[in-house]
C-alpha cells in the first residue's frame, strides 16, 4: 500500500503548495475559524521578532506558543511552509500506520472470539473481513490530508498542524505498544495544550490491554503499570518544562501559555463556545463559569473510559472529539484530526441514525461561517448573535456526530453479544430502545 499512499501524499502536498502560492493564503491566515490566538502564525512571527529585539516574547498579550515552538521556528522560519506540509504528512503517515496496526489487532481479536464461539449465530453479517478493512488506512490518510479543514489549517500556517502531528505520533506509539514513546509524546502534546491530558486514560487502557494486564482496581499489576506510566509521563513533562525554562531563562511562558488557555482572557470569536458566554458575563461569575467550562472538557473521561474500557481506540476517538469541541480556542484543524478516524468506524454505518442531518448541518455551517462573519463585521447588518448561532449549531452537529457514532458502536457491541435480531421471551420481535 505504499504506492497509493505516496500518490496521496504527493497530491496533498501539491494542493497545499498551490494554495500557498496563490493569493488566498493571506485571506485564509486571517480567518478566525482557522487560526486562534493560540495558533496564529502572525503571532509566531511577532514573538520571534520580539525575541530578536531583545524583549521576552511573552511580554504583552501577543505570543502564546511554547518555548519549544520558538526553538523550532527560530531555525525554520524561512521554511515554514515546508514545515507545515511536513507536519501534515507526518500526521497522515502516522495515522496510516496506526490504523493498519489497529486493524490487524481488531481482526486478530475477532478471530479469537469466533473460534471461541462468542458471537451469536445471527450476527455473522456484522463480522468484519480483511477485504473490507484493506483500504481503511488509506482512507484514513486521505480523510486527513484532503479534508478542506486540514488544507485550510495548513495554508494558514496554524500551529494546530504541529499539535495534530504530535497527537498522531502519540496514537501511533500507543498502538504499537511502546510505553515510553507514548508517554513522551503525550507529555509533549500536553505541554503544547493542556487538554490531551485526558488521552492518558485511553492510552493506559490500551497499553494494559496489550500487555494483558487486567483492568481491575484490586490488582497490584494495574496500579504498578499506572505508576510506571505516570512516572514516565510526569518525568518527561517535568524535563520538557525545565528545558523550556532554560531556553529563555524565565518562567514567563507558564502564565502566558497555560494561564491563557485556562483563563481565556482573549474573547476573539472562533468556532468554540467560550467567547460569547464570557463576553457577556458579569465579572463576579467569571471564575465560576470558567471552572464549569473547563471541567466540561475533562469531565467525560472517567465515565467514557468506564464504559469503553474494552475499546480504548474508540475512546481515543471520542476523547479527541470532546477536546476539539469543548476546548477554549478550537479551530477547524482540531476537527480534522478526529474526523480522520471516521473511516475506521465505517462498519457502523448501518446503525448510524442522524448521519444525514449531521452532514447537512456541518456543510451548511461551514458555508455560513464566512457569510455571517462578513455580515457582522463588514456589512454591519448582523451582529454577534448570528455568528454565535452558527457556532452553536456547528458544535451541536459535532456533538450529535460523536454521540451517534457512540450509539452505533455500543449497539454493534450489544448485537455481537446478544444477536442481531432480538427476540423477546415469547419469540416475537423486540426493538432496542436507547434510554
Partner 1 sequence: YVRGIFKNLHGWFINCLRYLFCCFQDRAGQFFSSGHTNNWAVLVCTSRFWFNYRHVANTLSVYRSVKRLGIPDSHIVLMLADDMACNHRNPKPATVFSHKNMELNVYGDDVEVDYRGYEVTVENFLRILTGRLPPSTPRSKRLLSDDRSNILIYLTGHGGNGFLKFQDSEEISNVELADAFEQMWQKRRYNELLFIIDTCQGASMYERFYSPNLMALASSQVGEDSLSHQPDLAIGVHLMDRYTFYLLEFLEDIHPASKTNMNDLFKVCPKSQCVSTPGHRTDLFLRDPGSVLITDFFGSVRKVELTMETINLTDPIEQLESAESGELQKEMHTYADQLPVSEIIHQKPKQKDWHPPDGFILGLWTLILLVFFQTYGVKHLKHIF
Residues found near partner 1 in the complex (CB under 8 A): 48, 51-52, 54, 70-71, 74, 178, 180-181, 184, 239, 243, 246-247, 249
Which residue, 48 or 399, has its beta carbon nearer to partner 1? 48
Which residue, 45 or 181, has its beta carbon nearer to partner 1? 181
Report yes or no: 73 and 80 within 8 Å, Cβ to Cβ.
yes
Q: Which residue has the cell 470532546?
A: 322
Backbone angles phi, psi at 216, to 5 degrees: -140, 125
Which residue, 45 or 247, has its beta carbon nearer to partner 1? 247
Shortest distance (Å) from residue 369 CB to partner 1: 37
Shortest distance (Å) from residue 52 CB to partner 1: 5
Which residue, 185 or 369, has its beta carbon nearer to partner 1? 185
Shortest distance (Å) from residue 246 CB to partner 1: 5
What distance in Å separates the CA atoms of residue 78 and residue 248, rounded to the nearest whole number? 22
Shortest distance (Å) from residue 48 CB to partner 1: 8
Shortest distance (Å) from residue 367 CB to partner 1: 41
What distance in Å separates the CA atoms of residue 158 and residue 73, rounded to the nearest whole number? 13
Tell me the C-alpha to C-alpha distance, in Å, between residue 239 and each of 178, 191, 308. Answer: 19, 11, 32
What distance in Å separates the CA atoms of residue 301 and residue 295, rounded to the nearest whole number? 11
Output Rg (C-alpha) for the chain, integer angstroms: 23
Shortest distance (Å) from residue 180 CB to partner 1: 6
Which residue, 236 or 328, has its beta carbon nearer to partner 1? 236
Which residue, 71 or 299, has its beta carbon nearer to partner 1? 71
3-class DSSP state for residue 280?
A: coil
Nearest to 156 by CA among 280, 45, 297, 3: 45
Instruction: State the distance between the two ends of the chain, measured CA to CA, in whole angstroms.
Output: 43
HEC states along 330-343? CCHHHHHHHHCCHH
Shortest distance (Å) from residue 69 CB to partner 1: 12
Which residue, 11 or 55, has its beta carbon nearer to partner 1? 55
Nearest to 85 by CA among 25, 42, 44, 139: 25
Shortest distance (Å) from residue 187 CB to partner 1: 11
What distance in Å separates the CA atoms of residue 369 and residue 57, rounded to the nearest whole number? 32
Nine-digit cell at 361?
Answer: 448541518
Which residue, 181 or 375, has its beta carbon nearer to partner 1? 181
Residues contacting 325, CB < 8 A, separation 6+: 272, 395, 398, 399, 402
3-class DSSP state for residue 308?
A: coil
* Residue-by-residue DSSP string for 337-372: HHHTTGGGGGGGGGG-SSHHHHHHHHHHHHHHHHHH
Which residue, 133 or 257, has its beta carbon nearer to partner 1? 257
Shortest distance (Å) from residue 164 CB to partner 1: 20
Shortest distance (Å) from residue 238 CB to partner 1: 12
Which residue, 113 or 180, has its beta carbon nearer to partner 1? 180
Q: Is 390 exposed, middle or buried (CB count within 10 Å of its CB: 0-12, 13-18, 19+)?
A: buried
Which residue, 66 or 319, has its beta carbon nearer to partner 1? 66
Shortest distance (Å) from residue 74 CB to partner 1: 6
Which residue, 247 or 368, has its beta carbon nearer to partner 1? 247
Shortest distance (Å) from residue 371 CB to partner 1: 34
Q: Partners of 429 in the beta sheet?
A: 423
Report yes or no: 206 and 313 within 8 Å, Cβ to Cβ.
yes
* Residue-by-residue DSSP string for 388-424: HHHHHHHHHHHHHHHHHHHHHHHHHHHHHHH-SS-B-
Amino acid at each position: 500500500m505504499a504506492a497509493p499512499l505516496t500518490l496521496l501524499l504527493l497530491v496533498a502536498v501539491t494542493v497545499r503548495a498551490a494554495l500557498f502560492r496563490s493569493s488566498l493564503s493571506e485571506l485564509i491566515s486571517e480567518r478566525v475559524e482557522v487560526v486562534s490566538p493560540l495558533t496564529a502564525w502572525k503571532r509566531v512571527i511577532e514573538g520571534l521578532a520580539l525575541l530578536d529585539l531583545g524583549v521576552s516574547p511573552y511580554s504583552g498579550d501577543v505570543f502564546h506558543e511554547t518555548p519549544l515552538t520558538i526553538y523550532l521556528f527560530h531555525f525554520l522560519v524561512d521554511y515554514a511552509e515546508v514545515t507545515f506540509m511536513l507536519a501534515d504528512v507526518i500526521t497522515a503517515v502516522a495515522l496510516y500506520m496506526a490504523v493498519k496496526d489497529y486493524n490487524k489487532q481488531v481482526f486478530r481479536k475477532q478471530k479469537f472470539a469466533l473460534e471461541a464461539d462468542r458471537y451469536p449465530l445471527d450476527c455473522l453479517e456484522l463480522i468484519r473481513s480483511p477485504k473490507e478493512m484493506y483500504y481503511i488506512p488509506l482512507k484514513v490518510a486521505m480523510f486527513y490530508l484532503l479534508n478542506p479543514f486540514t488544507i485550510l489549517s495548513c495554508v494558514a500556517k496554524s500551529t494546530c498542524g504541529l499539535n495534530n502531528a504530535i497527537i498522531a505520533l502519540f496514537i501511533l506509539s500507543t498502538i504499537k505498544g511502546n510505553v515510553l514513546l507514548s508517554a513522551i509524546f503525550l507529555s509533549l502534546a500536553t505541554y503544547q495544550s493542556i487538554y490531551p491530558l485526558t488521552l492518558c486514560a485511553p492510552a493506559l487502557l490500551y497499553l494494559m490491554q496489550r500487555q494483558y494486564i487486567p483492568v481491575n482496581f484490586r490488582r497490584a499489576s494495574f496500579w504498578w503499570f499506572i505508576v510506571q506510566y505516570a512516572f514516565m509521563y510526569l518525568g518527561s513533562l517535568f524535563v520538557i518544562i525545565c528545558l523550556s525554562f532554560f531556553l529563555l531563562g524565565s518562567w514567563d511562558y507558564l502564565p502566558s501559555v497555560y494561564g491563557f488557555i485556562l483563563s481565556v482572557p482573549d474573547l476573539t470569536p472562533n468556532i468554540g463556545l467560550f467567547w460569547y458566554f464570557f463576553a457577556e458575563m458579569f465579572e463576579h461569575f467569571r471564575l465560576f463559569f470558567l471552572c464549569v467550562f473547563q471541567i466540561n472538557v475533562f469531565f467525560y473521561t472517567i465515565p467514557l473510559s468506564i464504559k469503553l474500557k474494552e475499546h480504548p481506540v474508540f475512546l481515543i476517538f471520542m476523547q479527541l472529539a470532546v477536546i476539539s469541541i469543548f476546548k477554549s480556542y478550537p479551530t477547524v484543524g482540531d476537527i480534522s484530526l478526529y474526523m480522520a478516524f471516521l473511516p475506521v468506524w465505517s462498519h457502523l454505518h448501518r446503525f448510524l441514525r442522524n448521519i444525514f442531518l449531521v452532514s447537512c448541518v456541518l456543510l451548511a455551517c461551514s458555508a455560513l461561517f464566512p457569510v455571517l462573519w462578513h455580515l457582522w463585521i463588514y456589512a454591519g447588518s448582523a451582529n454577534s448573535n448570528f455568528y454565535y448561532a452558527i457556532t452553536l449549531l456547528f458544535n451541536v452537529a459535532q456533538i450529535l456526530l460523536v454521540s451517534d457514532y457512540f450509539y452505533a458502536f455500543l449497539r454493534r457491541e450489544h448485537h455481537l453479544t446478544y444477536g442481531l435480531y432480538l427476540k423477546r421471551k415469547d419469540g416475537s420481535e423486540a426493538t432496542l430502545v436507547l434510554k
